[in-house]
Structure 1
Amino acid sequence: MIYNLDNVYYSTLQGMRANTSNGKTLDKEAFLRLLIQQLEMQDPLEPMETKDMISQLSQLTSLEQITNLTSAVKDFVEAQTSVNPAQLASLIGKYVVVKNNTVNLSNGESESIIFNLDQDAHVVIQILDENGNVIRTEDLGNVQAGVHAWQWDGRDDSGVSVEDGSYTYNVYKVTSEGMEEIGGIEGGVVEAVQIKNGEGYVLVNGYLYPVNSILEISQEGDV
């Protein structure tokens, strides 16, 4: 007796798909069931050739390896993104340098904006309000490589004093291709650590910074 396997494969595959993630994936167990179904329904007079069997077993092996690799990668990513309280607590008392783009203005005086240049460059600083509008642009001209600080006088481009509050800033170096953002930095001793919504933060100079904003860590005495 010769069997027409087209409908058998289709119905078997449809049934297995219904049991796997709404028909979007076909896992290794479903693949094995399909292979067994094929062996049971094949024509005894024309059995599956050895090369076809080896090919399908190779596909099953590859599928299992990919599945295991995907699971391993997922576990690795979850481990890297999870916050370890013990590791986080070990930062207390350390001196850290963090990325920063916020400057606070109080009584008309602002904190220093600190930035680091890996080479001499033409530097431009922009101050933005809470709506993201640029209210002050300061062209510092050519600046030598190294760490520098610039203090905003609390005025906009028209020379008018702005209200006290928290403002964001961008530091750029001018290149032949345009303006390249290099950002600002802040340094200080980690006073405390916090975990909020699964994310780790360090308290430096009275402000919270995400752990992933840390650029450098050293012992306080090394500074």
Structure 2
Amino acid sequence: MDINSINANTASAFQKQNTSGKTEMGQKQFMQLLVAQMRNQDPINPMDGAEFASQLAQFNSVEQLIDVNSGLEILQNSQDMMSASLTNSMAATLTGKQVRALSEQVNLSAEGNSEIKYKLKSSAEEVEIVIRNASGAEVRRETLNGVSSGDNNWTWDGKNNSGERLGEGNYQIEVVAKNGDEDVNALVYMEGVANKVRFSGNGVFLSINGIEVPIGDVEEVGTGIF
């Protein structure tokens, strides 16, 4: 077999690829290599027909997989665009509506109390409500006993563990429920009127009671929630 001739044909086959910066072998380049291989094969020991057919079948399978992957990628992009469009359209209709959404934050105004709402999967012998400031430091801890399953709430008077009134702003809420040594699943949520929708590169957010929540955390919308 004339190796130099094959190398020359190989270089020609990849010339366009090198100038365009691509590294993948296309169908045309693959066929050029096969033709070069057939032209320069050893007449005494020619290429096996079964081997040649196998190479063609393998390349055809790869081509089909590439086409399938490209099609799936296009379909996924279309579905993502449609989903984003539907989400944006739905979010715009939520302003002014009563909404329940998962959130581990609560807004404390300059005066008055704040309602901390949570849901227990089952009844709990003891529930600890821990409130932290923006820096993550604990400012208040309250222990409740004999709390039933389902929706519950506790009214925070806005004071810390020393009885001092805290400044207005957003605070982090943690609810830890236990039956003896066993944990009880607890979810913290808020209820209020969605007064603003914000669209960003990180998603769509609703403003409820001074707290921004992702639209994906909304559980219920409509009258009669509160």
Separation in 1, partners of 2:36, 2:12: 13
How many residues are aligned here? 215
Query: Which residue of 69, 73, 77 corresponds with 1:70?
Result: 73
- CA RMSD in angstroms comes to 3.5
Separation in 2, partners of 1:210, 1:135: 26
- The residue type equivalent to 2:30 in the other structure is L
Question: TM-score, normalized by length of structure 1?
Answer: 0.74
Match of 1:39 in 2: 34
Q: 1:67 to 1:13 in 2, by over 3 A?
A: farther
Question: TM-score, normalized by length of structure 2?
Answer: 0.74
1:88 aligned onto 2:91: yes
Match of 2:218 in 1: 214
Match of 1:2 in 2: 2
Separation in 1, partners of 2:26, 2:103: 52
Q: Rg bigger for which structure?
A: 2
SS of 2:131's equivalent in the other structure is: strand
Shift of 1:171: 1.8
Separation in 2, partners of 1:172, 1:14: 67
> Retained in 2: the 8 A contact 1:170–1:181?
no
SS of 2:38's equivalent in the other structure is: coil
Separation in 2, partners of 1:214, 1:89: 14
Separation in 1, partners of 2:11, 2:128: 65
Query: Which residue of 96, 121, 127 corresponds with 1:123?
Result: 127
- The residue type equivalent to 2:156 in the other structure is W
The unaligned stretches of length 5 or more in structure 1 are none
1:81-129 CA distance string (max 9 Å, x none): 4575432233244332112222233456431101112322342211101
Match of 2:194 in 1: 190
Structure 1 stretches of 4+ moved >6 Å: 175-178
Separation in 2, partners of 1:115, 1:144: 11
Shift of 1:50: 1.0
- The residue type equivalent to 1:39 in the other structure is L
Separation in 1, partners of 2:197, 2:191: 15
Aligned identity (percent) is: 21
Q: 1:74 to 1:184 in 2, by over 3 A?
A: same
> Retained in 1: the 8 A contact 2:203–2:214?
yes
Separation in 1, partners of 2:86, 2:202: 7
- The residue type equivalent to 2:101 in the other structure is V
Q: 1:75 to 1:8 in 2, by over 3 A?
A: farther
Query: Which residue of 145, 170, 175 corresponds with 1:171?
Result: 175
Matches within 5 A, 1:16-165: 16=17, 19=20, 26=24, 30-44=25-39, 45=41, 46-47=46-47, 49-81=52-84, 85-107=88-110, 109-121=112-124, 122-157=126-161, 159-165=162-168
Separation in 2, partners of 1:19, 1:179: 61
- The residue type equivalent to 2:78 in the other structure is D
Separation in 2, partners of 1:202, 1:75: 25
> Retained in 1: the 8 A contact 2:114–2:157?
no
